[in-house]
Structure 1
């Protein structure tokens, strides 16, 4: 069964990854209570959702550009679409987070906060010597800085057309392995500060880039007709084993923390197994999971605001005692889903689509204006 057009399993993974991150942050409501040890044990591994997002991102970038000839025009269109997909909602949520989580306009009375805010909007590290979080205004914004860098190097590789994959792999090898090796010694920790003078090098040299590259390689494997499991039974078997192994490795803490040599590699194996198995069997996902996948970006982006609003609402209602309970964690999840649905509708499908269409029109006009005009005699 050819499942190349069926990416429901990707939406499933996106939804799961977003939910895991929401629960990971939601556990802080129980900090200092008798429930904290259990909450920390059950929910902290959900941080792997970030690594899973990076792997999926690389896969989707490869999958969505298969058959694309590359070149400057296609690279520009790719960047426009990705920028419009990410930045408008990101900018609005960053500003909203200041008013909900950081005290509103008083936040800007401090020079360091103003600097962090503008760095956040520009998707640049505010404090490059604190990888991977970089001291940003939007707490979850650090992952979007990596995501935007992935888009940049992927678009740059498209300029080389047929050589794009060689160029992309060479760039990652140079920046993630050779440069750190020659500067401060090889280290696969995403939290290590290599001490580069240019702050953006903290992103360029991060091992997180290898997770993105792993997703690209999985996308390549998925598109190869010869790489398939002929038996449906074996396909389901490989799929089940890969999921069980990833869950075991992470929740048993056999591997721990972000990075390709930690959370990344068992998750990459799982995504590879899903990608290959999906060419043989249909990996069905419930409608709810598909919906979660569709709002996963908004859910990831806005859930700290939803959790902050919940805490403030409980305080105003005189029910702040309920904050440090399991019921509060459940309520924060429901609030996060509600806010994400609104964000998806008004920011992703509304604002982002308008920005994308505007930028594409401007790009088309610029391309047409730059195209050489044919002589009248030749047109005739």
Structure 2
């Protein structure tokens, strides 16, 4: 094992509230989009004047944010070094427990007959295996929203490859992104539920996020503050204007092309993190809080809103604004309960177990004492706050 994998383990970048806030903002956009989707599918008028329909762009922001964070933490020159195995273990520990719990609940509901015959195909054995292992399928997985995690799993595998051999891993990411771009330009994009399943144009956001992280390092350290502020305002304005346009226009109106929107998202990320690092600006506390529990909200919100909407319809209540607010409140409450009651305690238990399994410092090959495991675990804990999900 290369010595630098252990020697750098205690180095952790400053925590940036802007990343948490933008993650929270993206999660709220997705929540409002699915609220619109659930209620309109049941014959209700689009809630909040249809603006929620533009929230689909929140997923694009999540893709770019994931690539940006991975680029900042692991792919930049001089970034903290971890072994590929430790990186994958960290990512699996963070993503899989909560996801598997939600998957088991979804499986139980389908076995009880919720969703009817339309959902029966999800219960085929090989589809269940693919759903639990985050493998691509030709139809929505057991937990509908987990299609996003399928792309994340592949991306993490390529980042791990870059940690093993930098040029090889970066080359693989470039080849993957290049193939997606060629298909997109040629007019043959591959959707999230179509084989081979990893070539949807939205995945370009991962590569664009990495590019902004790598090329923006100097700008982040020394770019003109006025330029950074102007870039953030312009990119955020474009992003918000596109959301409004897609919301108030006719259904499925397409606004700014995905690639340009991803560039706007990358600009927002680079400008906001640069301003926070250099000026100490802090993001709104509400969005930071939502960002911290965004993974639990993301995993549970669609099923929660679907169940609440079904209950409201069954008891004869109209699915109007009151129903929309009830769905939103329920989704946030269940997500918060999942985060504070299950996911966060699980992550804390994993960290305690990791700390207890190796409390004594280890000797390096040159005879000096390496950083102790608890110190490395503490660094991982701080670093995990930056990571997607």
Q: TM-score, normalised by structure 1?
A: 0.76
Identify which of 112, 136, 144 aligns with 1:125.
Answer: 136
Which whole-Å CA distance do the structure 2 matches of 1:179 and 1:313 have between them?
A: 41
The CA RMSD measured in Å over matched residues stands at: 3.7
CA contact (8 A) 1:229 1:280 kept: no
1:140 Cα offset (Å):
0.2
Which ranges in structure 2 are unaligned for 5 or more consecutive residues? 1-12, 368-389
Which deviations, in whole Å up to 9, do the C-alpha atoms of 1:167-223 show, x marking residues without a partner?
A: 333213323334885x998447352888xxxx5x421x4434431122122222453
Is 1:189 the counterpart of 2:192 in the alignment? no
Which whole-Å CA distance do the structure 2 matches of 1:179 and 1:17 have between them?
A: 23
CA contact (8 A) 1:218 1:275 kept: no
Distance change (3 Å), C-alpha of 1:148 and 1:358: farther
Q: TM-score, normalised by structure 2?
A: 0.74
Distance change (3 Å), C-alpha of 1:289 and 1:281: same
Which deviations, in whole Å up to 9, do the C-alpha atoms of 1:113-148 show, x marking residues without a partner?
A: 233222100111232xxxxxx421111010011111
Which whole-Å CA distance do the structure 1 matches of 2:178 and 2:269 have between them?
A: 24
Which whole-Å CA distance do the structure 2 matches of 1:184 and 1:34 have between them?
A: 34
Is 1:306 the counterpart of 2:301 in the alignment? no
Aligned positions of 1:1-380 closer than 5 A: 5-27=14-36, 28-31=38-41, 33=43, 35-36=45-46, 41-65=50-74, 67-68=78-79, 70=81, 74-100=83-109, 102=110, 104=112, 110=120, 113-115=123-125, 116-127=127-138, 134-160=139-165, 164=166, 166-178=167-179, 186-187=186-187, 189-191=189-191, 199=195, 201-203=196-198, 205-224=199-218, 228-231=222-225, 233-253=226-246, 256=254, 260-261=258-259, 263-314=261-312, 318=315, 320-322=316-318, 324-355=319-350
Which deviates the most, 52-61 or 207-216? 207-216
Which ranges in structure 1 are unaligned for 5 or more consecutive residues? 128-133, 375-380
1:258 Cα offset (Å):
10
Other structure's SS at 2:222 match: coil
1:326 Cα offset (Å):
1.3
Which whole-Å CA distance do the structure 1 matches of 2:192 and 2:121 have between them?
A: 27
Other structure's SS at 1:243 match: helix
Other structure's SS at 1:278 match: helix
Aligned residues: 340
Other structure's SS at 2:329 match: helix
